[in-house]
Structure 1
């Protein structure tokens, strides 16, 4: 093997790397990323895996079936990772791989065929990364949305009701509470979302 011939792991001898990477998200972490917005993706449990360098482009994928869900770039690690890799809010510990998102399609993953991954982090050649990135296409136009959360709360005062509201939000979070969203100016198009997906909240329509 020469100094420039790729290994099957995605690295090359002499310490150089492929320049681009595919990161495979566990299913539970993918669901967590869909529930709450994050500017960065922190991955733990990669001890012994090949480590991308800061600035390297990254394609983020999920498996079964293989789909592309985001693009990003490796950021400087903070020296800390989350104790629970499937919970972005858990306590921090050493050794994370940090990826700054540059494009996300978490709600509409792009099918990927013919790409062989050999672990949570796999090296890609630049042409392979560009081919993946081109599948996503340009970002859609942004617009204003109205998002609300309505909770009936029994309390002795308005201030107490607000405190209880935030306590319930922190305790239950997006896994249990429905959020209601509609385009600004079109409240009749309001739709409920639970667990990051549209949910029917009208019991009469279920009959």
Structure 2
């Protein structure tokens, strides 16, 4: 059994659910770097999900778009006392553990109730959204590379400069090259989490 299997079963057994609305800049950040959890602070609402509650993560546009599913977890290092339901301060971050991500291919969620960052959602609506996603695609091996021409006096200095550039520029500026293992001829460049043409002649 995987950790994700456990999360899915816990979500299926819950009798309430929630929608979490991501601002556009946070959505872009979640697309760029893989995270196991989503942490939200500054929730100006008395409503508070409980641990194990399923969550639908959406971004707003002309209509809501579903980008992930998850379930609420206690903040790291903050275990709630079962004999004192109010023992965890309400200002602690809301922690959502991802169970399914569709950041690159959001799913329309027309009619989904969204009233601020956090909105109660009938459990049957959450299940309907999960069914709409269908089974996750099979995982496969990929080759991902990042090539930077660097001038340096020694190989060790070149490596240090490489990591400095990677940390400074990051995925917003540096193209990463990805191809399925064994099919390097189909290599594609990605910037900002999306395919990007790196051939200037094709832009003409």
Question: In which range does the TM-score fall when normalised by the shorter chain?
Answer: 0.7 to 0.9
State the match for 1:176 in structure 2.
173
Matched, 1:77 2:75: yes
Structure 1 pair 77–120 and aligned structure 2 pair: CA distance change class (3 A): same
Alpha-carbon shift at residue 79 of structure 1 (Å): 7.1
Name the Cα RMSD after superposition.
Answer: 1.6
* SS at 1:201 equivalent: coil
Partner residue, 2:66: 68
Poorly superposed stretches of 4+, deviation over 3 Å: none
Summarize deviations over 1:91-129 as a string: whole Å, max 9, x none: xxx621100000010000000111221111111111111
What CA distance in whole angstroms lies between the structure 2 residues aligned with 1:103 and 1:49? Answer: 27
Partner of 1:187: 184
Q: Report if aligned partners of 1:79, 1:96 keep a CA contact under 8 Å in 2.
A: no
Gaps of at least 5 residues in structure 2 are 1-13, 79-90
2:152 & 2:42 partners in 1: Cα distance? 44
Counterpart for residue 102 of structure 2: 105
* Cα distance per residue 1:20-49 (max 9 Å; x no partner): 111111110000000000000011121334
Label 1:124 to 1:186 Cα distance change in 2 as closer, same or farther (>3 A): same
Aligned residues: 178
SS of the residue corresponding to residue 29 of structure 1 reads: helix
Distance 2:174 2:48 in 1: 38
Aligned pairs (5 A) from 1:1-207: 19-64=16-61, 65-78=63-76, 95-207=92-204
Kindly indicate whether the alpha-carbon contact (under 8 Å) linking 1:58 and 1:72 is maintained by their aligned counterparts in 2: yes
Contact kept, 8 Å, 2:142 with 2:178, in 1: the verdict is: yes
Please tell me whether the aligned partners of residues 21 and 58 of structure 2 are also in contact (alpha carbons under 8 angstroms): yes
Counting helix residues as a fraction of each chain, which structure ranks higher? 2
For residues 145 and 128 of structure 1, the distance between their equivalents in structure 2, rounded to whole angstroms, comes to: 35
> Does structure 1 conserve the Cα–Cα contact (< 8 Å) formed by 2:113 and 2:121?
no
